[in-house]
Amino acid sequence: MKALLLALPLLGLSAPAAAETILAGNLITDAASDPMGPATIVVEEGRIVSITRGIDRTATGADVIDLSDKTVLPGLIDTHVHLTGDPGGDFWKEAVEPAEWGVVVGVKNAAKTVRAGFTTVRDVGSSEESAFVLRRGTAEGLIEGPRILASGPALSIVGGHGDVSGFTPEVNLLLDPGFTCTGAVECAEKVRLASQNGSDVIKITATGGVLSQQGRGLGAHFSQEEMRSIVDTAHSLGLKVAAHAHGARGIEAAARAGIDSVEHGTFADEAALTVMKEKGTYMVPTLLAFRGISEGLGQGVYTPVVEQKIRMTLDQVGKAMSGAKRLGVPIAFGTDAGVFAHGRNAEEFEMMVDAGMTPREALASATTVAARLLDMESQIGRIAPGYSADIIAVDGNPLEDARALQNVDWVMVRGKVMQ
């Protein structure tokens, strides 16, 4: 797999100049702040050095980037993607496609994602080392893409969502990536194994899932003791835990155990959201995932058992997020890109607004709030001196119209312009 990465060509990256000057027509430094109007940003060695009001056309940097007709703002953050996967297809293909194929798919999707304005993503579920290889490739500038934080394979219960299923027992065993666990001791061991392998975050499947082949619903999976073991072990290693969770009691149990973020949260009720609020648990709603998967209904894309689960969730989309906002649960932007086509990520903003957020709150969810979830609030999520030069440009004002973020005209990641 590593040899495959080294053989990949450079894809449309311009190396950061010694100094770059960006002329912004209207600068939004932070989702909480009003636009400051025309401004000049100086970038050196991948970091923002200074911001001054007004457009300084006398700047003599190594490269002057004229965005004087654009709104310039921080690069966006998607905290729930699957770069190595594409939507649809036959579930059994995982039995015949090599893990290396995920790197090829991931290179394509990383480029689509960054060109859509997402300069940091958290990949929460991939085969073996594929997302780790992509992480290195974008960090070293070998491939075009966002900054990547990756979990690697998710931890799951035997026979649950995230475990291999749908084949004969012999094939299930052969495809098992080795991250199922039973009991507190074994679950702690698997967290340590994930850490050893290079995980930036621990992903678990705390409830059943919509797209897995089991027809047993979306209820809780891990025991409370198992989840507490996972959380305590991860936190002792400096890692956060993200829990895929749909059913209300599984969401409540995950939050009570100290899980850092609930992914999806589809059927979260008042009791579950109250515990999330008390524990400071983030919700990552992934509303766009359901729009994406609904587009494949009735077309032979999904097996009958999966179609049934999809249909039972569609009328719930957005309700839990609305309840979370009302109670003050922190909401971080995440889409589940991979169950729909990568590059569409920004459609999530419009859905969040439809579910009750203001455009400003939606933008914050993908900048400052997401950065806090990732423990990167001093590095990304705003345009400020010392921060990584992750910057995008659009037409219009996304603080007033979230749809403006669906058409990103210019992207810089770590001081590198995506050509």
Q: Is the pLDDT of residue 372 over 90?
A: yes
Average pLDDT value for residue range 13-39: 87
What residues contact residue 220 under an 8 Å CB cut-off, 6+ apart?
A: 206, 207, 247, 249, 250, 253
Q: Where are the domains of the chain?
A: 12-75+381-418, 76-373
Q: What is the pLDDT of residue 262?
A: 98
Q: What is the pLDDT of residue 187?
A: 97
Task: Dump pLDDT digits (tens) for 212-261.
Answer: 656 566 778 899 999 999 999 999 999 999 999 999 999 999 999 999 99
Contact 381, 321 (CB under 8 A): no
Q: Where are the alpha helices (DSSP H) in 116-183?
A: 130-139, 169-175
Give the CATH architecture of domain 12-75+381-418: Roll (2.30)
Q: Please compute, for residue 288, the number of CA atoms within 13 A of its CA located in the half-sphere on the CB side.
A: 25
In degrees to the nearest 10, what's the CA dihedral of 332, 134, 379, 18?
A: -140
Same fold, 12-75+381-418 and 76-373: no
Q: What is the pLDDT of residue 165?
A: 67
Task: Dump pLDDT digits (tens) for 124-139.
Answer: 988 878 999 999 999 9
Secondary structure (3-state) at 174: helix
Task: Dump pLDDT digits (tens) for 270-318.
Answer: 999 999 999 999 999 999 988 877 676 666 666 676 767 677 777 777 7
Q: What is the pLDDT of residue 2?
A: 42
Q: Is the pLDDT of residue 94 over 90?
A: no
Q: Is the pLDDT of residue 102 over 60?
A: yes
Average pLDDT value for residue range 143-171: 84
Q: What percent of the chain has pLDDT over 90?
A: 71
Give the CATH architecture of domain 76-373: Alpha-Beta Barrel (3.20)
Q: Which of 358, 361, 334, 328 is nearest to 346 (CA)?
A: 334
The residue that leads in pLDDT, 160 or 4, is 160
Q: What is the pLDDT of residue 382?
A: 98
Q: Is the pLDDT of residue 12 over 50?
A: no
Mean of the per-residue pLDDT values of the chain: 89
What does the DSSP assignment read for 175-195?
Answer: H--S-B--SHHHHHHHHHHHH
Q: Is the pLDDT of residue 4 over 50?
A: no
DSSP state of 316: G
Residue 123 parent element (H or E): strand 118-123
DSSP state of 261: E
Q: Is 7 exposed, middle or buried (0-12, 13-18, 19+ CB in 10 A)?
A: exposed
**Structure pTM?**
0.91
Cα separation values, 167 from 13, 91, 94, 173, 368, Å: 42, 10, 11, 9, 43
Find where tokens 């979830």 sit.
373
What residues contact residue 146 under an 8 Å CB cut-off, 6+ apart?
A: 75, 110, 113, 114, 118, 119, 120, 121, 138, 413
Task: Dump pLDDT digits (tens) for 41-62.
Answer: 999 999 999 999 999 888 766 6
Task: Dump pLDDT digits (tens) for 324-368.
Answer: 999 999 999 999 999 899 999 999 999 999 999 999 999 999 999
Q: What is the pLDDT of residue 11?
A: 45
